Amino acid sequence: MRRLFSIILILLLSCLPAFCWGKKAKCVLILSDSPENIMKVQSKNVFPVNSRIYFAISNPKGFKSDYIKYQIVKQDDKAHIGGLTRIRNVTCRLKNKNSYFDYFLLGEAGVYYIQIFDITNLQQWVAIERFKVVSE
């Protein structure tokens, strides 16, 4: 009986961090082809070349500072380091501590990633999304 109790206790203690860490509020990153779809929270991952790609990020806990940085990188087999080529690296001032909205254009087809960083920690992204740009 004592052994059964200790096994149950060990199982509960090992699962406790998963339950506690799962309740953290996380950032939401939405990509879309129109601002209306962003407001409807309809995300899209495939876009035509030279079209506007709208994105919105929402952080329920709020960002630590008034600035965020977003990077757009292209997955590329010809790249020297890690197979990724940096396309855009932008630092933006937030008007609202909890969200940011903008758009960008990409002129080449390929697989891309957008990474959002809080300016206080540029080593760890707060949100990342993979998307494709295809030629029509």
In a domain, 100, yes or no: yes
CATH for 56: 2.60.40.1930
Q: Residue 5's pLDDT is what?
A: 36
Collapsing DSSP states into helix, strand and coil, what is residue 4?
Answer: helix
Q: Is 73 left (phi over 0), alpha (psi -120 to 50) or beta?
A: beta
Q: 7 pLDDT exceeds 70?
A: no
The domain tally of the chain equals: 1
In a domain, 112, yes or no: yes
Q: At which residue do the structure tokens 């860490």 appear?
A: 21
Q: What is the pLDDT of residue 4?
A: 41
How far apart CA 106 and CA 84 sit, in angstroms, is 16
Tokens of residue 65, six digits: 């500072």
**What is the reported pLDDT for 12?**
37
DSSP annotation of 103:
E
pLDDT digits (tens, 9 = 90+) for 71-108: 999 998 776 777 888 899 999 999 888 889 999 999 99
pTM (predicted TM-score): 0.75
Work out the number of other CB atoms within 10 angstroms of the CB of residue 56: 19
